[in-house]
A and B are shown apart, each in its own frame.
Chain A
Amino acid sequence: MSAAADRPVSADRIVYSPITRRPKLQWPGGARIALWVVPNVEHYEYLPRPGQLRDPWPRAPHPDVLGYSRADYGNRVGFWRMLEVIDRYQVPCSVSLNLAVYEHFPEIMEACERRNWEVICHGFYNTDFLFGLPEEKEREFIAECVATHRRLTGRELPGRLSQAGTLTVNTPDLVAEAGIKYYCDWRFDEQPFPIKVKTGRLLAMPYQLEVNDGVNFRFPVEAEAYARFTIEMFDRLYQDSAESGRVMHIALHPFMIGQPYRIRYLDRILKHVLSHDQVWLATGGQIADWYLENYLPLLDAQMSGTTR
C-alpha cells in the first residue's frame, strides 16, 4: 500500500462508499426520488460587521447600495412571485433561512409558517460570516440560532446550512452537539450519508450547487438554460433511481428566480418533475427521518466490516 493510501480521506469524516455498491434505497411507498425544494430566504446587511476575513460587499466601500438593494428586492417582490409558483404545485419546502428575516419581515415568516415550511438555519445574515471563529464562539453562535428558531417558531431546529458557505473545521461537530438532525455543507453524494463527528454521526444531505440558481445566475447563464440543466439533472437521477433512490434537490433564491424574466422557468421545472410518478415531495426533516430509521440500519449492516 502506498503512503498516500494511509492518509485520512475527507478529513477523516466520511467513509468511502461507492453509490453503486450500497443497499438499494427506496423512499416511502416505493418512491424513487425525494424532491427536496429549498428556497434560500436571505437578508444581506446594509452595513455588515467590518473587518471580516472575507468582505461581504467587495465591489465597493460600504454601503454597496447596488448589491444590497438587488438582494433586498428578493424579500419585497421576488419571494412573493416565487411563492405563487410553489403554491400552484403544492410543494412542501424547507426554507434555508437567515433567521433575522423572520424578525425583520414578519410577513415572510407568516407566509412560511402558514405553509408549514421547515427551517434550515442559514445563520442570521448572509453577510455575517463564520470564517475564523474560535470553537467556543461558534458553539455560542449555533446555540443562539437554535434558541432564536425555538423562540420564533416553538419548534426544534432540524437542519443547518452555513450562511454564504462560511464554516470552520469545527462546524459539523458543533452542529451535531446542538442536536441538529441534518447538515447541508458537505455535499459529496446524491443520497444522504452520515459523516463522523465527535459525538457520533451527523447526517449530511445532498444539497447541490451544480444546478442552483444562486450559483448559476452569478454567471451569464440564461434562465432557459438553467431550466434545461435542472430538468436534465432530474431525468438522469430518475433513471438512476430505478437502481437506488436519489434526492433531487432544488435550491431557489427569490432575488434571482423571482425576477420576472426567470420565474416561468421555475414553473417549467416543477411541471416536468411532477409529471413523473414515484416522486416523493418531502422536507429535509422527512427525508432525514426516513433515512435514519429505514435505510441507515441497512447501510450499517453492509458496512459492518468497514472501519468507521
Chain B
Amino acid sequence: MTERRRGIDHEHYWHSPKPSRDAWRLPNGARVAFCVFVYF
C-alpha cells in the first residue's frame, strides 16, 4: 500500500482531533447545548 494522505478517507469532513480545536463558546457562557429530539 502507498502512503495515505493526511485526514480522513472521504471528502465530507476533515479530521480535527478535539485537543487541537479552539474552545467552543456557546451563547451567554453556556457550556452544554441541550437538545431534545422526539421521534414520531
A177 to B16, CA, bound (A): 38
- Cβ of B1 under 8 Å from chain A: yes
A47 contacts B6, C-beta separation under 8 Å = no
- Interface size class on chain B is 10 to 19
Q: Is the CB–CB distance between A104 and B7 below 8 Å?
A: yes
- Whether A104 and B17, one on each chain, are in contact in the complex, defined by CB atoms closer than 8 angstroms, is no
A105 CB-CB contact with B under 8 Å: yes
Instruction: Check B18 against A80 for contact (C-beta < 8 Å).
Output: yes
Q: A124-B1, A144-B1 are known contacts. Are A106 and B6 too (CB-CB below 8 A)?
A: yes
Interface residues of A (CB under 8 A from B): 43, 45-47, 63, 72, 75-77, 79-80, 100, 103-108, 124, 144, 148
30 contacts between A and B (CB under 8 A): A45-B9, A47-B9, A47-B10, A63-B10, A75-B15, A75-B17, A76-B17, A77-B18, A79-B17, A80-B17, A80-B18, A80-B19, A100-B4, A103-B3, A103-B4, A103-B6, A104-B4, A104-B5, A104-B6, A104-B7, A104-B8, A104-B9, A105-B6, A105-B17, A106-B6, A107-B17, A107-B19, A108-B17, A124-B1, A144-B1
User: Which B residues are closer than 8 A to A by beta carbons?
Assistant: 1, 3-10, 15-20
